[in-house]
Amino acid sequence: MATLIEAEAVSGGADITPRPPNRRNVRETLVRYRWLLFLMLPGIIYFLLFRFWPMYGAQIAFRDYIPFLGIEGSQWVGWEHFETFFTNPDFPRLLRNTLILAALSLFIAFPLTIVMALLLNELRLNILKRTVQTLVYVPHFLSWTVVVSLTGLLFAVGNGPLWTLLNDVLGTDTNFLADPAWFRPLIVLQDVWKNTGWGTIIFLAALAGVDQEQYEAAIIDGAGRWQRVWHITLPSIRSTIIVLLILQTGQILNTGFEQIYLMSNALNRTVADVFDTYVYFVGIQQGSYSYATAVGLAKAIVGVILIFGTNWLAKRFNQQGIF
Amino acid sequence: MARVKYRFNTPAGKAFDVVNVVVLVGVGAIAILPFLYVLAGSFATEYELTTRPFFLWPNEFTTDAYASILGSTVFVRAFITTVAVTGVGTAIQLALTALMAYPLSKIDLPGRRTIMSLVVFTMVFSAGLIPTFLIVKELGLLDTYWALILPAAINPFSLIIIKNFFQELPKELEESAKIDGANELRILRSVVMPLSKPVLATFALFYAVGIWNDYMSPLIYLNDTSKWTLQMFLRQVTAASSLTAEDLGNELPPPAQGIKFAVVMVATIPVLLAYPFLQKHFAKGMLIGSVKG
């Protein structure tokens, strides 16, 4: 998916510059493109209504929003909500939980995806390769509700298969679903189970494009299996890895609301609360719209900074970025 | 070349191949075993579910759990609702996306670059949950099914991939249609659409799976429990420690464990039915968009 932006940026650059606008030309253009503009209208309205109007509405982060008074009518309070949030005793805990989950995803789930793509790429039996691919893509299409329900059944106290197995192996009697110490491992496990297979698609596509003659030449030069992977395969997916890494960095503060929300319960709140669920609890459930908007906005802005930051870093190190 | 490869196939290389096959077959098994267990469990008796920790075939076969959910008015309502919302929603989302993608695929369209930049901008920055919620509220969509369809109507990723696909179609066909006097609407309907069926089908399925699986939108936008979708029902059933007949709108109390297995299956099976069609096209659909740009 990531290379799209790259592709877009590249193809965008090749555009013909529109003619300088003067009144007659504007009219002519409108007439000439009337059907195309007409087709696009619903889409434009959608983006204005559901993507850009909320951006205008996000100013309530700087106001004390009261629905009755409307956005502009509500009192301007400046940075007050942001200050409340950053000095809130919950803030360090939310930040910690969010960052730990992001780091686990970055350092466990992401490398596993690459490893799995490499292993699949080394499979010589095509039919086996295709079968394995078919199987490992399936979990991606299951909803988080289903994945969390499956987890609930597999780890059910007393009769769940994984509850039985893990407790036998560890010699314990743990209720994994309620134990805060097991919250993060379970989140990572679900994440890996659901998304690793799917994540390999983009790498396998990049690998399919590698010139086979390079491998043949390397074999003749006496390169072993490992040397071929290290000197040909990995460099050929380097740009894909970097693009995905940049995108993932931008997502660091987005923990995936559904998964965390569905997995959190009264017993694991200390480790389960993250920014996304916090916004839901204080905003939707408690109705502190302005405050929750401020939290969401702070998060979104950090995300943008991170994505541009990594992109800049990638370019510094002579790699292709996404913009 | 095969012989060259063979000559350098060391014993270590062969050992790796064997290990690799074993590992990947294991990974493939792990991907579907939980699902097979739940399938087997949904046909097992309560006694078997509480006594046997793991099985892929029930000793004693029963359809009690399915009978119980099919007799549940709450379930039937949620199921029909979800099917309807998914059907209507997919049609709307795909239409909006394709109709916007087509003009954007015309390189000479005035304002094209600005619009594309704005679309990409929405992928990087979003105003967040609460402002979107307030807009949905403002538009009077709370507690309506439109709230499950419209706020996510156009996925910018899908839009760009479909746009890139249209851009790659041979220009000659369109030009000859134009010479024959067809306008853009006509060209879209009789030239572009027929050529784009596989791509549009793929994204229709993606949208459908997205709506079917959506838990967050109904959670946030639907307060009225009688409007709940299947995912909400599934959550209610599997998170509850015990369910009464009233919870389900049933006459008899459901089998406590079995019903959880059966509901998971019912929520999953439609997605699995769509999967082979999805799989046939998604790799191709994704790559057309991303590689060719």
SS3 of residue A64 by DSSP: strand
Residue reference for tokens 């370019």: A315
**Assigned domain for A230 exists:** yes
User: Distance between CA atoms of B160 and B154, rounded to whole angstroms?
Assistant: 10
Give how far B42 is from chain A: nearest CA, Å: 11
Residues with Cβ within 8 Å of residue B90, at least 6 apart in sequence: B204, B207, B208, B211
pLDDT value of position B215: 96
| A63 phi and psi angles, rounded to 5 deg | -130, 170
Report residue B220 as tokens: 């946030």
- Domain extents for chain B? 2-51, 64-292
At residue A2 the predicted structure's pLDDT band, cuts being 50, 70 and 90, is very low
The number of domains in chain A is 1
Question: Of B150, B167, B231, which is closest to A50 when you measure between CB atoms?
Answer: B150
Write the pLDDT tens digit of every residue in B165-210. Answer: 898 888 888 888 888 888 888 888 888 988 888 889 889 999 999 9
User: Distance between CA atoms of B160 and B101, rounded to whole angstroms?
Assistant: 7
pLDDT value of position A218: 87
Name residue A64's beta-bridge partners.
Answer: A75
Report residue B269 as tokens: 């099976």
CB contact under 8 A, A3 and B103: no
B195: number of Cβ within 10 Å: 14
pLDDT value of position B182: 83
| Test mutation, B37, B38, B130, chain A, max A CBs within 10 A | B130
At residue A12 the predicted structure's pLDDT band, cuts being 50, 70 and 90, is very low
Mean pLDDT, chain B, rounded, equals: 87
CA distance to A72, A88, A279, B169, per residue, from A78 (Å): 14, 17, 19, 51
8 A C-beta contact, residue B162 and residue B200:
yes
Give how far A47 is from chain B: nearest CA, Å: 8
* Mean pLDDT calculated for residue range A275-281: 95
* Mean pLDDT calculated for residue range A57-84: 93
User: Distance between CA atoms of A138 and A181, rounded to whole angstroms?
Assistant: 29
CB contact under 8 A, A47 and B131: no
User: Distance between CA atoms of B214 and B232, rounded to whole angstroms?
Assistant: 9
At residue A261 the predicted structure's pLDDT band, cuts being 50, 70 and 90, is very high
Q: How many helices (H) and strands (E) does chain B have?
A: 17, 0
User: Distance between CA atoms of B138 and B288, rounded to whole angstroms?
Assistant: 39
* Mean pLDDT calculated for residue range A106-127: 92
Q: For the domain that residue A301 is a member of, what is the CATH number?
A: 1.10.3720.10
Predicted TM-score of the model (pTM)? 0.89
CB contact under 8 A, B54 and A161: yes
- ipTM score: 0.90
8 A C-beta contact, residue A260 and residue A272:
yes
Question: Of B96, B107, B291, which is closest to A15 when you measure between CB atoms?
Answer: B107
Tell me: pLDDT of A318 over 90. no
B151: number of Cβ within 10 Å: 21
pLDDT value of position B285: 53
B229: number of Cβ within 10 Å: 28
What share of chain A in percent tops pLDDT 90? Answer: 58
CB contact under 8 A, A135 and B278: no
Q: Is B14 on the interface with A (CB under 8 A)?
A: no
> Which chain A residue has the Cα nearest residue B106?
A36
Name the residue among B112, B90, B124, B114 with its Cα closest to residue B166: B112
At residue B284 the predicted structure's pLDDT band, cuts being 50, 70 and 90, is low
pLDDT value of position A6: 42
Q: How remote is the C-alpha of A134 from its chain's centroid?
A: 23
> Which chain B residue has the Cα nearest residue A68?
B138
SS3 of residue B230 by DSSP: helix
In angstroms, what is the C-alpha Rg of chain B? 25
User: Distance between CA atoms of B164 and B116, rounded to whole angstroms?
Assistant: 12
* Mean pLDDT calculated for residue range B91-97: 97
8 A C-beta contact, residue B290 and residue A7:
yes
What share of chain A in percent tops pLDDT 70? Answer: 91
Report residue B94 as tokens: 């795909």
pLDDT value of position A221: 85
> Which chain B residue has the Cα nearest residue A292?
B130
User: Distance between CA atoms of A40 and B95, rounded to whole angstroms?
Assistant: 11
Among A148-152, A249-253, B122-126, the range scoring the smallest mean pLDDT is A249-253
**Assigned domain for A312 exists:** yes
Mean pLDDT, chain A, rounded, equals: 88
At residue B292 the predicted structure's pLDDT band, cuts being 50, 70 and 90, is very low
Host domain of residue A228: 90-316
SS3 of residue B268 by DSSP: helix
Most confident residue range from A8-17, A223-232, B217-226: B217-226
Name residue B61's beta-bridge partners.
Answer: B44
**Assigned domain for A5 exists:** no
pLDDT value of position A14: 44
CA distance to A71, B145, B168, per residue, from B195 (Å): 47, 32, 11
Report residue A308 as tokens: 């541009």
DSSP-derived pairing of the beta strands A75-76 and A63-64: antiparallel
**Assigned domain for A29 exists:** no
Tell me: pLDDT of B288 over 70. no
- Give the CATH superfamily of B64-292: MetI-like (1.10.3720.10)
Write the pLDDT tens digit of every residue in B8-54. Answer: 567 777 888 899 999 999 999 999 999 999 999 999 999 999 888 88
**Assigned domain for A148 exists:** yes
